[in-house]
Structure 1
Amino acid sequence: MKIGDLARATGVSPRLLRYYEEQGLFAAQRAPSGHRRYGPETVEAVGRVRALLAAGLPTSVIRDLMACFTEGTDLDACAAQHLREHLEGVEARITQLETTRSTLAALLTATASRPQVAA
């Protein structure tokens, strides 16, 4: 199928599909005219990419995980370490955001009790 057909089948813009291909997330065959041609398996590959992007994974990690898919969007155990590392990073960011929230709330409480000074 052509890139436009793949875009319609996946709901992903042709520009984004070209980006995914440039990142090595899947490959296209080239017609003699130079146009990209995709097999039906690429629709599933795009679904996998989108699922991993929704989980917040960068394309560099997704490229490594593409070999870990067994069927559909099911991942094999080879993905566990990448996913664990990403989850630890997310948890660290959540902790930092909670600290930031507490600090901002304390600052707001402290300033709410003070009179406003004209500038």
Structure 2
Amino acid sequence: MRIGELARRAGVSPRSLRYYEQQGLIRARRCANGYREYDEADVRLVAEIRGLLAVGFTLEDTRPFVECLRSGHPSGGSCPESVAVYRRKLAEIDGDIRALLARRAEVAAQLADLCPGCLVTRRGES
């Protein structure tokens, strides 16, 4: 399939596909006329990349998942390298949560000092 069809089927722009190709995440074959040609497996690779990007992974983070799929695994997350990326990302998110909770506590303390009668609640609490 040509780049326009892959873009349509994967829900991305042709520009994104060219960028993924430039980064070595997908590989196009070239026709005699120079057009890029992709196969069905590329739809799955792009879906994997997009899904990971949507939850906060970087493009570089997606590389082990793509390689896992390319090597014939049913899931991009089933290889040890992908699991390591998942673990690293979870640790990063946990660190972000701790930092945000510390910042929240500091802001709440400043508000309490300046406005002793003000009640600070967490979102969703009464």
Same fold (TM over 0.5): yes
Per-residue displacement from partner, 1:38-88 (whole Å, max 9, x unpaired)?
Answer: 111110111111122123221112113322231155523342222111111
Contact kept, 8 Å, 1:44 with 1:72, in 2: the verdict is no
Q: Percent identity?
A: 36
Superposition RMSD in Å: 2.0
- Taking CA–CA contacts closer than 8 Å with sequence separation of 6 or more, which of the two structures ends up with the larger relative contact order? 1
Q: How does 1:17-56 map to 2 (within 5 A)?
A: 17-56=17-56
SS at match of 1:71: coil
TM-score by length of 2: 0.78
Residue in structure 1 matched with residue 120 of structure 2 by the alignment = none
TM-score by length of 1: 0.82
Residue in structure 2 matched with residue 81 of structure 1 by the alignment = 84
Question: Whose strand proportion is higher, 1 or 2?
Answer: 1
- Show structure 1 runs of 4+ deviating over 4 A: none
In structure 2, list runs of 5 or more residues that go unmatched. Answer: 117-126
Q: 1:93 aligns with which of 69, 75, 96?
A: 96
